[in-house]
Amino acid sequence: MILTVTLNAALDITYRVPRLQPHSTNRVTEVSERPGGKGLNVARVLTALGHRAVATGFAGGGTGDALRSLLAQETSVTDALVPVGGATRRTVAVVDESTGDTTQLNEPGPAVTPAEWDTFMSTYRELLTDARAVALCGSLPPGVPVDVYARLTRAARTAGVPVLLDTSGEPLRRGLAARPDLAKPNADELAALTGSTEPLRAARDARRRGAHTVAASLGADGMLVVTANGAWQAAPPRRIAGNPTGAGDSAVAGLLSGLVEDLPWPARLARAVALSAATVRAPAAGEFDRGTYEELLGRVTVTEHPVAA
């Protein structure tokens, strides 16, 4: 199985409005609720690709109960979330149907106590014994140490399980020092980490900070990967209009599935980029439009960069 970790899971609430008007009353035409958080989105896409996925992290309060109830209805993702006393956060996305733009409001999440953290670590180490790979995803809830992803990376590496790290800011910087097998920042996160806005240079810099491989999401321009043996960039054949929420999570699922299937890097990149673009056409994060995915998969352009001197 593939393990995904979402320390700051959320109940995702999506409002659709005909036209978003700031400083005014907006009439909502459609409301949806679903379990959210980057790792949960990754797990959903993995199961759609035919892989068994187990999701762990924290869930608590009435919001956490609602999240777990909805997750149980999906049946595809195995719930290994650890209960906490605080309430799971909510994220609210407001979709402007006239433009397709999305406005996102994210709560901070529950405070996690030292005892709750110890329970999670015991669960995590047990789950690693059956994992073929693990994805560490997203922001940290209050009370969790900033170096937590470094700790989780070291535990996975001790267990012989490949690690993908998808976070930002100081947790990313600390996590890289623990030498994850793969880090997947987006272009803005990579620039904040390295100070460089040139993706190839920044990805090489990030790799020197500890990651074995760096895969940088470039939005509509695709993805760049820098490994010990080379660098490749993949781009979709055309820009896809829609809601980009969750596109990066689908790319993570593409990279993870390619890892456990031992695909060569160009094929992993093509899958990640096609899934990311197909997610833009889907109604919600953690889903992808299969027709768009199948159409794009064979048309993604993958180019190799010269080896750095």
Q: Which residues are catalytic?
A: 249
Rounded distance between C-alpha atoms, residue 258 and residue 239, angstroms? 23
Burial of 25 (0-12, 13-18, 19+ CB in 10 A): exposed
Residue 290 neighbours by CB distance under 10 Å: 12
DSSP 219: G
Determine contact, residues 30/36, Cβ cutoff 8 Å: no
The letter for the amino acid at 24 is: S
Burial 228-240 (b: 16+ CB within 10 A, else e): eeebbbbbbeeeb
The string of DSSP codes covering 75-129 is: -SSEEEEEEESSPPEEEEEEEETTT--EEEEE-------HHHHHHHHHHHHHHHT
Query: Mutual orientation of helices 169-177 and 148-158 as an angle, nearest 10°?
Result: 30
Residue 221 neighbours by CB distance under 10 Å: 15
